[in-house]
Structure 1
Amino acid sequence: MQEIKAFNEKRAEIYWWLSSLYAKELTEENLEQYHSAQIRSFLTSLGENSDLKPSIDRVIDSLNRLIDREDAQLELAADFCDLFLKSDRDSALPYASMYIGETGLLNDKPAKEMEALMLEHGVAVDEGLNEPADHIAIELDFLGNLIIRSNELEQERHIEEALIEQESFIRQHLLSWTPKFTAKCQTLDEFGFYSAIASLTVAFLELDCTYLIGE
């Protein structure tokens, strides 16, 4: 049981890290951290998994190219804006409603379902992130909370039920639309950092589901 809880902590940390990348632009300080030995070691360790290696290689390659990019922080912030904050026609908007909603508009059924789910579990949206509940950063953050809360359980049966709930959430609320979102990122993100992160997100979600169902 302790092994499961330790692994859950690592899973939650990865989801919270991915969430932070979609929540706001990286600062100069953030970028310096990404060039540090600690972060590079973290990325390399993720890349040791064959399912994650292609995406991790792309993330590392884009970070290496950022070193030579003039005004790297401003350029990457512009990429973030162009990719996630403009119109649906010109951007890969990071909301489930834009891919699996019925109207093609924001705040469709997926957002309402996430609002209800967050209310049910007593999880609030970060006040600094003024976005609908089906924004990818919010969904990934919520998943991290689900995982950490399951570590408070003591009976093996309850932990198994929590893992099943997590797998169901991933499939219904994330893998139902993030592959389409990622495909759009690949088309629009010329530099490639955020499209690599999107690819990594889907790869990790799929790998996590494999773990959760015990394959």
Structure 2
Amino acid sequence: MTHLNTAIDLSELQAAARILHHSLVNYPTADTLALFIENDLAQNWPAFTDSAANQQGKQYLTQFIAQWDTEQLTNLKLDYGQLFFGPGEPKAMPWGSVYLGEQGILNDESTITLMQFYKSIGVSFDLKYNQPVDHIALFYAVIDQLLAQIIDAQQTNAPEGSVAKEALIILLQQHMLPWSGRCLELAAEHAETDFYRGLVLLAKDFETVLASTLNVIPMPMRLFK
């Protein structure tokens, strides 16, 4: 049985996963940015272990919020596009198969394996846009769901928590962490706005803390990007 590092609040990890999902799954909107600003995302983001990445990420977001107005939304959308969507090849392609498959194509063997894993644990998606399931933002959504199950089970001593925890460990160890760090590294290198510079650093810190909390060591895999 894998034990949790209880020094980290699981509800904070769940909240961070949810924010990362909503921030990276699609182009930013004025409503989303208004919600982040209203809730002071930079100041209320969990400190976790108070790492340098965490501190710098929150500093970037603080700078972004301080000078934000809706006229900058176009530039923010352009930044999201060049990082994660296109036109052309995104600088930080958000799909796992691009990194794990020698051909560098979408829906490759690693995606099929992930789909089989999701089927085995009862995970499905109701997506607004057709999207390969190995998009990094969708991983954050599944992490959110599994952490919610673990938290609920801890409060009620239900056995489902052990199942959810083992599923989360496998998800991280075999399907996400072997490549997601490279995606975030490329995003940090090419981001042109403080919003995405900050968000990517916070995502890197989140993944490090989550892996440490669950005592997960990613499987070594060759990356092709």
Normalised-by-shorter TM-score class: 0.7 to 0.9
Aligned residue in 2 for 1:174: 176
Q: Which amino acid aligns with 1:130?
A: N
How far apart are the structure 1 equivalents of 2:24 and 2:168?
21
Aligned residue in 1 for 2:14: 12
Q: Which deviates the most, 105-114 or 185-194? A: 185-194
Q: Which deviates the most, 32-41 or 142-151? A: 32-41
Aligned residue in 1 for 2:37: 35
Q: Which deviates the most, 95-104 or 132-141? A: 95-104
Query: Percent identity at matched positions?
Result: 18
Aligned residue in 2 for 1:113: 113
Q: What secondary structure, in the 3-state scheme, does the structure 2 residue paired with 1:91 have?
A: coil
How far apart are the structure 2 equivalents of 1:164 and 1:113?
17
Aligned residue in 1 for 2:195: 193
CA change 1:144–1:189 in 2 (3 A) is same
Aligned residue in 2 for 1:137: 137
* 2:82 aligned with 1:82: yes
Contact 2:118–2:124 (Cα < 8 Å) also in 1: yes
CA change 1:168–1:162 in 2 (3 A) is same
- Listed one character per residue, the Cα deviations across residues 165-210 of structure 1 (whole Å, up to 9, x for unaligned) are 4234223222211221122112322224223312211211111121
- Listed one character per residue, the Cα deviations across residues 136-180 of structure 1 (whole Å, up to 9, x for unaligned) are 111111111122223453548764564344234223222211221
How far apart are the structure 1 equivalents of 2:93 and 2:66?
26
The CA deviation at 1:10 is: 3.2
Q: Which amino acid aligns with 2:118?
A: M
Q: What secondary structure, in the 3-state scheme, does the structure 2 residue paired with 1:199 have?
A: helix
Q: What secondary structure, in the 3-state scheme, does the structure 2 residue paired with 1:103 have?
A: coil
Q: Normalised by the size of structure 2, how large is the TM-score?
A: 0.78
How far apart are the structure 1 equivalents of 2:162 and 2:127?
32
The CA deviation at 1:134 is: 0.3
Contact 1:19–1:137 (Cα < 8 Å) also in 2: yes
How far apart are the structure 1 equivalents of 2:55 and 2:169?
22
- Listed one character per residue, the Cα deviations across residues 101-152 of structure 1 (whole Å, up to 9, x for unaligned) are 2321111122112211221122211321420010011111111112222345
How far apart are the structure 1 equivalents of 2:98 and 2:10?
30
Contact 2:97–2:110 (Cα < 8 Å) also in 1: yes
How far apart are the structure 2 equivalents of 1:37 and 1:200?
17
CA RMSD of superposed structures (Å): 2.7
Unpaired stretches in structure 2, ≥5 consecutive residues: 1-5, 217-225
Contact 1:185–1:198 (Cα < 8 Å) also in 2: yes
Contact 1:18–1:137 (Cα < 8 Å) also in 2: yes
Contact 1:47–1:57 (Cα < 8 Å) also in 2: no
Q: What secondary structure, in the 3-state scheme, does the structure 2 residue paired with 1:25 have?
A: coil
Q: Normalised by the size of structure 1, how large is the TM-score?
A: 0.81
The CA deviation at 1:74 is: 1.8
The CA deviation at 1:89 is: 4.5
CA change 1:147–1:80 in 2 (3 A) is same
Q: Which amino acid aligns with 2:100?
A: I
Contact 2:98–2:106 (Cα < 8 Å) also in 1: yes
Aligned residue in 2 for 1:93: 93
How far apart are the structure 1 equivalents of 2:111 and 2:36?
32
* 2:146 aligned with 1:146: yes
